[in-house]
Amino acid sequence: MSCGFISSVFYYLCKENILRILTFATLEKNSFYNMSTTVLKTGTEGSIWGGGEDVQPLKASYGKLMMWFFILSDALTFSGFLAAYGFSRFKFIDSWPIADEVFNHFPFLHGVDAPMYYVALMTFILIFSSVTMVLAVDAGHHMKKNKVVTYMALTILGGFIFLGSQAWEWKNFIKGEYGAIETKGRQILQLVDTDGHRVKVSEIAIASHSDRVQHEGKNGLWYESESKLPSYTVEEVIAGVEANPNVLVRTQILNEEGEKTVLSRAASIAKLKKDGALVVEGANLVRNEYGSPLFADFFFFITGFHGFHVFTGVMINIVIFFNVLLGTYEKRGHYEMVEKVGLYWHFVDLVWVFVFTFFYLV
Amino acid sequence: MAHDIAHHESNTKRIWNVFWLLSAVTIVEVVLGIFKPDVLNNVVLGMKILNWIFIILTLYKAYLITWAFMHMEGEAKGLRRSVVWTGVFLVCYLLFILLTEGDYVHEVFNKGYKAWDF
């Protein structure tokens, strides 16, 4: 056994050496005949296109082509994410959250139901920064350095405003507004009044004394901890619902009109008592007060990945902005670099158009 | 870059036109999204008319951004096709496969013997 192993190792070592000697010899021979290169000739030189000034099949520079290839592959990545979102949505087509109910905040309008407005504003910010970018590219074609500087600066500003808006959107989504009760089967039950308006869990829950405290590493087993406890227990919420005769439970199931099904008063209390397991406030990757946890997962992942693209776009734009200021492209004789980052920036806008449609509209 | 400079003599007018077009389309989408007229809730070819409108308008916006802002209209035919056709074909394929599968899983969940909401 060991003898066989050693001999095979020996064989491979020898083979390796033989190969090395052969390669070396070939290189030696080659460099002897042709001192300028050590590349082996393959005998197929005539059939390979070697490039050249007179043959330009795509009529674009190398850099621009590579940017297009990158954009194509990135577009397929985003399509994969959005198609996966579509898959999950089709899977839970009769209980998917309604976007208008999830994203209905607008700055300084507290408690006002304002669906769409905020995301429309974000869309305009991004479209406008796309316009300033293309104006910068246009100014570059005419070698107008100062105009390029102004438009690039505006583009960067737009990018930062968009990122800030997205942060605010995330904050609202994570914080949640009404709270909900999760069942043992991990379905979400929300509270509404008899007119169909949402009711906050915190408004009706009757707080009682509880000895249950958050288990942190410093006050219990040092190697175990848990996330923040919900403000209320299910029992406190049930007590609150029983005390408020006009509160009903709304399930996630969509009826024929595309609205969430509201249970009768008796069925509401029975459902809460039978299945209620946990109070959920806001959304994270595990729990989501708006409905299916997958909705939150995809929201974080897709808008997060898009936001990451916006962030990198802003960083690249800043680098190019300083290059423009320093006169790099003035010296080079053309502003193609601005055009290339412009392509990337427009692509980010293009992705947002699709995210906007599939997360907020459809 | 000589042909580029010749190409781009006065593009600012076109850029602003495209901006107004994009804005108008977005406003139409937002207004429809807020009011959701009842007529448009009817299903045509397996989807609500409203959703058909949204998707068609989205594709129109994507076309405007790619052709005008990313200047695809000025690129060589070979470049344009190698990017657009590849992307469109693969995305259609991916959507067909995943949405069909999602619908199938939905059927299994609702008509199968296994309880998933316990």
ipTM: 0.91
In-domain check, residue A126: yes
pLDDT of residue A187 exceeding 60: yes
Q: Tell me whether residue A260 is in a domain.
A: yes
Which of A87, A91, A116 is facing B34, going by the closest CB pair?
A116
Question: DSSP 3-state assignment of B72?
Answer: helix
Do the Cβ atoms of A362 and B106 come within 8 Å?
no
Buried b (16+ CB within 10 A) or exposed e, A311-342: bebbeebeebbebbeeeebeeeebbbbbbbbb
**pLDDT confidence of residue A1:** 45
| Same-domain check for residues A81 and A162 | yes
CA of B67: how far to CAs of A132, A134, A249, B14, in Å?
A: 16, 12, 50, 11
Among A90, A94, A188, the strongest candidate for a mutation testing the B interface, having the largest count of B CBs within 10 A, is: A90
Q: Where are the beta strands (DSSP E) in chain A?
A: 180-183, 188-193, 247-254, 260-262, 276-280
B59 to chain A, minimum CA–CA distance in Å? 8
A197 and A265 share one domain: yes
Per-residue pLDDT reduced to its tens digit, A25-59: 454 444 444 445 556 666 666 676 666 667 778 88
* B55 contacts in chain A (CB < 8 Å): 357, 362
CATH of the domain at A129: 1.20.120.80
Q: Which domain holds residue A108?
A: 59-176+295-361
User: Between A83, A258, A336, which is nearest B1 by CB?
Assistant: A336
pLDDT of A12 strictly over 80: no
Q: β-strand A247-254 against A180-183: which pairing, if any?
A: unpaired
| B contact residues 4-33, partner A, Cβ 8 Å cutoff | 4-5, 8, 11-12, 15-16, 19, 22-23, 26-27, 29-30, 33
Task: Answer yes or no: are the C-beta atoms of B29 and B38 closer than 8 Å.
Answer: no
Cβ contact B65–A80 (<8 Å): no
Which residues on chain B are in Cβ contact (under 8 Å) with A57? 76, 78
Query: Where among A281, A311, A345 does a domain terminate?
Result: A281
Domain presence at residue A3: no
User: Is A269 found in the same domain as A247?
Assistant: yes
Q: Give contacts of A354 with chain B, Cβ < 8 Å.
A: 58, 62
Q: Which of A281, A305, A320 is the last residue of a domain?
A: A281
In a domain, A151, yes or no: yes
| CA end-to-end span of chain B | 67
pLDDT confidence band for A17 (50 / 70 / 90): low
Q: In degrees, to the nearest 5, what angle opens at C-alpha A223 toward C-alphas A220 and A227?
A: 70
Residue pLDDT, tens place only, B30-84:
999 999 898 888 888 888 999 999 999 999 999 999 999 999 999 999 999 999 9
Do residues A202 and A237 both lie within one domain?
A: yes
> Residue B114: how many CB atoms within 10 A of its CB?
7
| C-alpha dihedral sign at A124, A71, B13, A138 | positive
Q: How far is CA A197 from CA A345, B46, B77, in A?
A: 41, 31, 55
Query: Contact A252/A291 with Cβ under 8 angstroms?
Result: yes
Q: How far apart are CA A148 and CA A355, in angstroms?
A: 29
Query: Is position A13 within any domain?
Result: no
> Residue A53 has what pLDDT?
66
Q: Is residue A65 part of a domain?
A: yes
Which of the residue ranges A58-62, A315-319, B67-71 would you say has the lowest mean pLDDT? A58-62
Same domain, A155 and A304: yes
Residue A68 is assigned to a structural domain of this protein: yes
Spatial distance between the Cα atoms of A259 and A247, rounded to a whole number of angstroms: 18
B70 and chain A: CB distance < 8 Å anywhere? yes
CB pairs under 8 A between A and B: 149
Say if residue A154 is in the same domain as residue A199. Answer: no
Cα-based distances in Å from A170 to A67, A120, B43 = 30, 16, 33
pLDDT cut 90: percent of chain A above it: 65
Q: Helix A117-141 to helix A145-175 angle, to the nearest 10 degrees?
A: 160
Domain-located, residue A194: yes
Q: Do residues A163 and A196 both lie within one domain?
A: no
**A233 compared with A12, residue with greater pLDDT:** A233
Domain total of chain A = 2
Q: Are residues A133 and A90 in the same domain?
A: yes
Pairing of strands A188-193, A180-183: antiparallel
AA letter at A42: T
A272/A182 same-domain check = yes
**Domain match, A89 and A151 both:** yes
On whether any CB of chain A is under 8 Å from the CB of B108, the answer is no
The last residue of a domain, from among A253, A281, A309: A281
Both A251 and A356 in one domain: the answer is no
Residues A199 and A131 in one domain: no
Task: For residue A100, list chain B residues with Cβ-Cβ distance below 8 A.
Answer: 33
Neighbouring-strand partners of residue A262: A250
Q: What is the pLDDT of residue A69?
A: 94
Entry field: residues in chain A:
362
On average, the pLDDT of chain A sits at 87
